[in-house]
């Protein structure tokens, strides 16, 4: 049997015998197994599926007519690479055959043929004769034209019996045609008119509502719409628009996957990956829910939880995409709620390449990811039911300004991240409710505030803080941020801790009601600000009752990180650094970590910084001068307007250059150029003639060079 590993407490296991009785045949009291036959909903997810891909264009298409990807009137440049005609274990790299081979573990043999076709009539003709149905009748015309020379029998191999039940026999209906259109409206002045009148307002999981099209002398049919016939509920194909300006390969995967998984309700949440991906896609790859649903999980050992408190130590998790193994934690059986745990190491072609025209919006970092699936799919708000839970946690958010929507009409809110809130806060991959200036709809983050100014926010595209990994955020429990709560903000029995990483494989301890055995969670909400003459550092107390102390460290460019205090007691979370004074001179950065009563440390908190002067004796001018390290201090103030001070020190007499560059690498100022003695120096940079933005200052001497970034805000 093919299995997906998961763990559940005993009170959940008692009801597993009835869980998904329709979807899966092999049920045991402790392990959910996927039967060997195909599992797709309207088409099989296993076996041989032969498709026809039609690259279509209108005869009056005048958009970018000489684009080498698809020259008007000719076949697309890469048409032959889209799908293999015959299945092998080593398909053409980057093809749909290759994609479904890797996603399914070679269970779905996706093959086909490609053809280029031109509709017999211009767009206005279809609008005049078939208003709102032009797409379907253009599709019908092309199919009837192909019927003169093509045999459609090779694309009729499956009979739909019922949902998730297919037989490998012809049923007189063509199984799948993918129509990929070169251009719909980009060459028109009134673009929305042509999209609406031709019924191309988006890509579609159908061929356009022109009824059944007889082919092969009436022996077979192509169903251009869905519904109406119980024998083929979702039609014979899908439509993908605007090859040159959108992502036709991704969209073909997406629309076809609706046949495998279900309707629009099954769209994924924002900002991660999946075949039914939504806004902010990071890669094409199927996520663990999709593979679980389709029976594409790996053959692997399963572990049984047989009591209400159990710790499973030393469990391993290799790359999810190439290995297809993941953990599934059953949160609740009604409604069906799961956690899926995946390890991404980007060893797959599909997480390192954007084939053909398309590109992924975001990036996948290496590490372990947590995906939460809740009970019922939600077409209106897909991120509410299947969402990535990023490792940087949940926060409170505020909105106090808006910007003009660059992607459409109206205004968009500008979010400001406030304090961490693991229980009722929101993460940056979900819709965040707010109220400001008449804008009240929930939104994913498009803009955030930086130094009071709105900037486009890429966090839900991947910001390097979404994956669990060693030394960053390696504990997932009821006390961590994010925590293991279900949709109703109730904690669950499940948790894990990363204990090792080697050669792309993570080792985990998995907890069922035993997360207190893990190391403490990462301290939250660390801040540093001057109270009087010295900085005061504070953070939120850990909620684990066995936390006994905190270790506080400080970083300074010459001395590096050093432990400056150990604070005893779980709630002892405030410290005044009497060695640093408020005279702004250089940057001091702080971090904290918790230790429990068994001497296990948490990972370090996020950092916080202040500008000040160190009062320790060993930081005298003499020590500064005999240092063997070239040093460039962060400018102060930063951000600045219009001037700022830049300090540096040199360990020996040297030729020194200090220059300022803009973000394009162009030199905008030369502050220092000469021979300097050993010592510490400070210069003033006046940017009165420059525009707001990010600049870089670079200190060079001999073969050594140091650069830092600063922000001019006018």
* pLDDT at residue 117 greater than cutoff 60: yes
Residue 652's pLDDT band, with cuts at 50, 70 and 90, is confident
pLDDT at 408: 81
The torsion defined by the Cα of 377, 378, 384 and 387, in degrees rounded to 10, comes to 50
- Residue at a domain's end among 619, 641, 671: 619
**3-state SS assignment for residue 479:** coil
pLDDT at 383: 64
DSSP type of residue 473: S
Tokens of 706: 């140091």
Assigned domain for 96 exists: yes
Assigned domain for 499 exists: no
- Residue at a domain's end among 221, 249, 277: 249
* pLDDT at residue 20 greater than cutoff 50: no
* pLDDT at residue 620 greater than cutoff 70: no
* pLDDT at residue 31 greater than cutoff 90: no
* pLDDT at residue 301 greater than cutoff 90: no
Higher-pLDDT residue of 278 and 437 is: 437
pLDDT at 237: 96
3-state helix, strand, coil in the chain (%, to 5): 15, 35, 50
Phi-psi region of 132 (alpha: psi -120 to 50; beta: other; left: phi over 0): left
Answer whether 0.75 is exceeded by the pTM. yes
The answer to whether residues 236 and 207 touch, using CB atoms and an 8 Å cutoff, is yes
How far apart are alpha carbons 175 and 155 in whole angstroms?
A: 6
pLDDT at 358: 46
212 lies in the same domain as 134? yes
pLDDT tens-digit profile of 569-605?
999 999 999 989 888 878 999 999 999 999 999 999 9
Residue 635 sits in a domain whose CATH number is 2.60.40.2550
79 lies in the same domain as 193? yes
113 lies in the same domain as 241? yes
68 lies in the same domain as 6? no
Smallest CA-to-CA distance from 365 within 349, 347, 344, 350 is with 344
* pLDDT at residue 360 greater than cutoff 70: no
pLDDT tens-digit profile of 177-222?
999 999 999 999 999 999 999 999 999 889 999 999 999 999 999 9
pLDDT at 674: 87
Assigned domain for 421 exists: no
Q: Which of 62-71, 287-296, 407-416 has the highest mean pLDDT?
A: 62-71
Residue 266's pLDDT band, with cuts at 50, 70 and 90, is confident
629 lies in the same domain as 610? no
600 lies in the same domain as 648? no
The answer to whether residues 174 and 184 touch, using CB atoms and an 8 Å cutoff, is no
Number of domains in the chain: 4
pLDDT at 304: 47
Assigned domain for 150 exists: yes
Assigned domain for 104 exists: yes
* pLDDT at residue 38 greater than cutoff 80: no
564 lies in the same domain as 668? no
Average pLDDT over residues 344-360: 74
Average pLDDT over residues 46-52: 97
The answer to whether residues 493 and 513 touch, using CB atoms and an 8 Å cutoff, is yes
The torsion defined by the Cα of 325, 327, 332 and 336, in degrees rounded to 10, comes to -20
Average pLDDT over residues 34-60: 85
- Residue at a domain's end among 392, 426, 447: 392
pLDDT tens-digit profile of 496-514?
999 999 999 999 999 988 9
Assigned domain for 81 exists: yes
Residue 3's pLDDT band, with cuts at 50, 70 and 90, is very low
194 lies in the same domain as 107? yes
Helix (H) or strand (E) segment spanning residue 327: strand 327-333
115 lies in the same domain as 207? yes
Residue 598 sits in a domain whose CATH number is 2.60.40.10
* pLDDT at residue 359 greater than cutoff 60: no
* pLDDT at residue 294 greater than cutoff 50: yes
The beta-strand segments (E) located in 392-540 are 395-404, 411-420, 447-450, 453-456, 475-476, 494-502, 505-512, 527-531, 534-538
Q: Which of 111-125, 320-334, 626-640 has the highest mean pLDDT?
A: 111-125
Average pLDDT over residues 614-621: 47
pLDDT at 307: 52
611 lies in the same domain as 661? no
pLDDT at 460: 78
57 lies in the same domain as 174? yes
* pLDDT at residue 379 greater than cutoff 80: no
Give the DSSP letter string of 481-499.
SS----TTS---SEEEEEE
Smallest CA-to-CA distance from 480 within 527, 528, 553, 421 is with 421
Least confident range from 1-15, 281-295, 359-373: namely 1-15
Assigned domain for 439 exists: no
Average pLDDT over residues 371-378: 78
Q: Kindly calculate the radius of gyration of the chain based on its CA atoms and give it in whole angstroms.
A: 30
* pLDDT at residue 474 greater than cutoff 50: yes
* pLDDT at residue 5 greater than cutoff 70: no
C-alpha angle 232/236/241, rounded to 5°?
140
User: Which domain, by its residues, includes 132?
Assistant: 47-249
644 lies in the same domain as 575? no
Q: What is the mean pLDDT of the chain?
A: 86
Q: Which of 399-403, 556-560, 627-631 has the highest mean pLDDT?
A: 399-403
Tokens of 523: 């301290």
The torsion defined by the Cα of 227, 229, 230 and 233, in degrees rounded to 10, comes to -40
The answer to whether residues 517 and 311 touch, using CB atoms and an 8 Å cutoff, is yes
Least confident range from 211-220, 226-235, 591-600, 667-676: namely 226-235
Assigned domain for 338 exists: yes
**3-state SS assignment for residue 183:** coil
């Amino acid at each position: 049997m093919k299995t997906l590993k998961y763990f559940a407490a005993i009170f959940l296991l008692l009801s597993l015998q009835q869980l998904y009785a329709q979807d899966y045949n092999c049920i045991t009291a402790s392990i959910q197994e996927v039967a060997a036959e195909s599992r797709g909903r309207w088409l099989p997810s296993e076996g041989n599926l032969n498709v026809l891909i039609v690259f279509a264009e209108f005869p009056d298409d005048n958009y970018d007519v000489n684009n080498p990807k698809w020259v008007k009137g000719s076949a697309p440049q890469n048409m032959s690479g889209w799908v293999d005609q015959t299945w092998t274990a080593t398909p053409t790299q980057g093809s749909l055959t290759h994609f479904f081979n890797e996603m399914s573990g070679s269970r779905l043999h996706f093959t086909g043929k490609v053809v280029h076709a031109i509709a017999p009539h211009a767009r206005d003709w279809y609008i005049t004769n078939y208003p709102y149905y032009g797409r379907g009748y253009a599709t019908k015309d092309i199919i009837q034209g192909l019927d003169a020379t093509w045999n459609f029998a090779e694309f009729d191999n499956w009979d739909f019996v019922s949902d998730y039940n297919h037989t490998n026999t012809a049923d007189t209906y063509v199984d799948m045609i993918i129509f990929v259109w070169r251009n719909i409206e980009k060459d028109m002045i009134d673009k929305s008119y042509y999209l609406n009148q031709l019924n191309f307002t988006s890509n579609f999981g159908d061929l356009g509502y022109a009824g059944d099209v007889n082919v092969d002398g009436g022996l077979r049919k192509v169903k251009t719409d869905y519904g109406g016939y119980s024998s083929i509920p979702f039609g014979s194909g899908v439509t993908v628009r605007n090859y040159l300006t959108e992502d036709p390969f991704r969209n073909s995967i997406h629309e076809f996957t609706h046949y495998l998984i279900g309707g629009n309700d099954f769209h994924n949440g924002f900002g991660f990956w999946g075949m039914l991906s939504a806004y902010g896609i990071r890669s094409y790859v199927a996520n663990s829910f999709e593979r679980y649903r389709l029976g594409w999980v790996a053959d692997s050992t399963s572990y049984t939880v047989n009591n209400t408190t159990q710790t499973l130590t030393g469990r391993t998790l290799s790359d999810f995409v190439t290995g297809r193994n993941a953990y599934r934690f059953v949160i609740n059986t009604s409604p069906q709620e799961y956690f899926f745990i995946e390890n991404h190491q980007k060893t797959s072609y599909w997480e390192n390449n954007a084939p053909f025209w398309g590109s992924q919006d975001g990036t996948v970092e290496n590490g372990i990811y947590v995906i939460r699936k809740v009970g019922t799919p939600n077409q209106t708000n897909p991120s509410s039911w299947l969402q990535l839970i990023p490792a940087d946690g949940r926060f409170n958010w505020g909105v106090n300004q808006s910007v003009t929507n660059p992607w459409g009409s109206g205004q968009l809110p500008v979010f400001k991240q406030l304090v961490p809130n693991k229980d009722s806060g929101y993460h940056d991959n979900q819709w965040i409710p707010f109220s400001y200036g008449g804008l009240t709809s929930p939104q994913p983050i498009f803009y955030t505030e930086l130094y009071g100014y709105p900037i486009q926010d890429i966090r839900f595209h991947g910001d390097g803080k979404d994956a669990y990994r060693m030394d960053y955020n390696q504990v997932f429990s009821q006390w961590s941020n994010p925590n293991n709560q279900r949709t109703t903000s109730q904690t669950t029995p499940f948790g894990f801790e990363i204990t090792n990483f080697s050669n792309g494989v993570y080792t985990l301890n998995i907890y069922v009601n035993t997360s207190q055995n893990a190391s403490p969670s990462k301290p939250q909400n660390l801040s540093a600000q001057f109270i009087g003459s010295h900085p005061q550092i504070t953070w939120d107390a850990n909620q684990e009752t066995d936390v006994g102390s905190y270790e506080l460290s400080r970083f300074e460019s010459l001395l590096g990180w050093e432990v400056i205090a150990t604070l005893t007691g779980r709630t002892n979370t405030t410290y005044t650094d009497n060695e640093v004074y408020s005279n702004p001179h250089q940057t001091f950065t702080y971090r904290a970590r918790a230790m429990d009563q068994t001497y296990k440390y948490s990972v370090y908190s996020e950092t916080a910084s202040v500008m000040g002067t160190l009062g320790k004796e060993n930081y005298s001018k003499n020590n500064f001068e005999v240092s063997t390290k070239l040093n460039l201090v962060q400018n102060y103030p930063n951000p600045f307007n219009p001037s700022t001070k830049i300090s540096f020190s040199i360990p020996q007499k040297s030729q020194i250059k200090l220059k300022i560059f803009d973000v394009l690498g162009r030199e905008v100022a030369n502050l220092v150029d000469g021979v300097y003695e050993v010592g510490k120096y400070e210069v003033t940079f006046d940017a009165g003639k420059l525009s707001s933005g990010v600049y870089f200052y670079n200190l060079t001497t001999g073969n050594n060079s140091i650069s830092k970034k600063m922000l001019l805000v006018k």
